């Protein structure tokens, strides 16, 4: 017997014409909790006792506060632009009926109704795009402040799974990004009054039991990734080789995302039977391997 998706309102608070959504709260909470944990890590002298730090953390508290602003812009702009380009143009251009109907005339509708380019309230944020946006934001920030790109990137990767996990929980609350059909006893029917209300009286996932893949991704991309990053830094001292943590993060995320795609309803085949998410994750794995190689072969620098 299948489980019934709980009828949860994706809006936390209605304030007249405005609404505070769980999805937005997940982004905000992830950034604030990540900021808090970075500050705690900066104050833990044992993490920075070895070369190349020699007791000096890679940035100050003020730097960390300013980095949150840069990272927020990177997440929002990169996530949305990435979705528009990778999914709105490329995927919808190849497979117009992809994604459970979110294409709805894309990509041509971007030219007819340009407002859809920024219509995040209709859904559409790409993790891979957000990651690229954050990388660019960190690069610009470090260049401006003359900080180590690899060391700051390592700190960001160490706390990123917090926001990623909260985002997947918000996906579950929204009843989106559901999984493939299943006969497992924990299969869930993603149909509720709020889902119908948001989709013109219909449930895009139908009435068949499906994997609650958002919860799988919460456990893999959020909980498991967070444990891996924290153990790597605190037990194996990955931070002593700046860039190594970032490389492991990229490889680990690529692997767990590919595993998640086995249970998640694919947007559509992109390259043969391979989905867009799997394609981008393979790129992440290759990128992570390159970052590790650079980290191990770059000259050692001791802070002044």
Predicted confidence at residue 277, as pLDDT, reads: 85
| Whether the predicted pLDDT of 180 surpasses 90 | yes
CA–CA dist 10, 80 (Å, integer): 19
User: Is the pLDDT score of 85 beyond 80?
Assistant: yes
Cis preceding-peptide flag for 163 (omega within 30 of 0): no
User: Would you place residue 101 in the very low, low, confident or very high pLDDT band (cuts 50, 70, 90)?
Assistant: low
Q: What pLDDT does residue 102 have?
A: 64
Any idea where the domains of the chain sit in the sequence?
3-297
> Is the predicted pLDDT of residue 188 greater than 90, yes or no?
yes
Q: Cα–Cα distance between 28 and 40 in angstroms, integer?
A: 19
Q: Which residues, including other chains, have CB under 8 Å from residue 293's CB and lie 6 or more apart? A: none
Does 162 have pLDDT greater than 50?
yes
The answer to whether 79 and 133 have CB atoms below 8 angstroms apart is: yes
Which pLDDT score, from 0 to 100, does residue 51 have?
A: 95
Q: Nearest to residue 70, comparing CAs of 133, 146, 159?
A: 133
CA distance 43 to 87: 41
> Does the pLDDT at position 303 exceed 60?
no
In tens, the pLDDT along 37-58 reads 999 999 999 999 999 999 999 9
Q: List pLDDT tens digits, range 108-122.
A: 888 888 887 887 666
């Amino acid at each position: 017997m299948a489980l019934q998706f709980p009828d949860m309102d994706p809006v936390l608070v209605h304030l007249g014409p405005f609404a505070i959504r769980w999805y937005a709260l997940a982004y905000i909470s992830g950034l604030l909790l990540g900021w808090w944990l970075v500050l705690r890590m900066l104050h833990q002298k044992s993490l920075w006792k070895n070369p190349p730090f020699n007791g000096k953390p890679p940035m100050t508290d003020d730097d960390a506060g300013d980095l949150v602003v840069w990272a927020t812009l990177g997440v929002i702009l990169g996530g949305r632009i990435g979705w528009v380009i990778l999914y709105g143009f490329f995927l919808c251009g190849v497979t117009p009926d992809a994604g459970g109907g979110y294409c709805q005339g894309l990509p041509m509708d971007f030219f007819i109704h340009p407002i859809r380019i920024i219509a995040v309230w209709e859904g559409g944020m790409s993790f891979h795009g957000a990651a690229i946006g954050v990388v660019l934001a960190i690069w610009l920030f470090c260049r401006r402040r003359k900080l180590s790109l690899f060391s700051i990137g390592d700190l960001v990767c160490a706390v990123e799974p917090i926001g990623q996990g909260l985002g997947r929980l918000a996906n579950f609350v929204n009843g989106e990004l559901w999984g493939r059909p299943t006969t497992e006893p924990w299969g869930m029917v993603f149909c509720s009054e709020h889902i119908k209300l948001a989709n013109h009286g219909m449930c895009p996932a139908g009435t068949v039991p499906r994997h609650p893949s958002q919860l799988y991704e919460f456990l893999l991309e959020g909980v498991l990734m967070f444990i891996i990053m924290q153990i790597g830094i605190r037990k194996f001292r990955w931070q002593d080789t700046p860039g190594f943590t970032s490389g492991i993060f990229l490889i680990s995320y690529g692997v767990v995302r590919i595993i998640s795609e086995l249970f998640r309803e694919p947007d559509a085949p992109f390259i043969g039977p391979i989905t867009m998410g799997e394609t981008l994750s393979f790129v992440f794995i290759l990128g992570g391997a390159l970052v590790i190689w650079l980290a191990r072969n770059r000259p050692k620098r001791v802070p002044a």
